[in-house]
Amino acid sequence: MTDRTRILALALGAATLATAAPAAAQCRDPWINQAIRQVTGEQGRERAPSGRHESGECNIHLYGASWSSYGELKGYVASVFRILKREDVTLNADGSLHLQDDYQNIHASAAQVRVVSPRGRTDGAGNAASDDGSRWRGAIGLGNGVVLRFADD
């Protein structure tokens, strides 16, 4: 291989890496990734989770933090997504929450979101968190003993 060919090959390789699509969001638990893709696909708009590791929709506490089978987890994911849609709530990838209905438009940062499940209490980013006496504006029951609590920023 000549120097000129080698330089051309390196340049093409660098250009390919620079234009490659970013990796899709990945939850720490691969079953959550799969369940969210499957549930959203069954709703006619398959997509990756809005979150990463334990934040946003990847927060295992949203789904009770414990399940005995993939089918059970998928049922929890479907139930949570149905309720969030009905309540017009969006969980953002960073763990923040947005709620919009006929009366209000609320944005709560991850620090102002609590996911309370039978297995523990976390903020929207999946970090262990106490209620620290904050005044909560709202709460939404997500099923399986899980409650999503939030306050305004």
Domain ranges of the chain: 24-150
Q: Is the full-model pTM beyond 0.75?
A: yes
Question: What tokens appear for 92 in the block?
Answer: 């953002």
pLDDT at 24: 55
For residue 133, the model assigns a pLDDT of: 66
Q: What was the pLDDT predicted at 20?
A: 36
For the chain (153 residues), the mean pLDDT of every run of 10, in chain order, is 50 41 70 96 93 93 94 96 93 92 82 89 88 77 91 73
Q: What residues have CB less than 8 Å from 124, skipping those under 6 apart?
A: 55, 56, 59, 91, 94, 95, 96, 97, 108, 109, 110, 111, 112, 113, 114, 115
Predicted confidence at residue 2, as pLDDT, reads 60
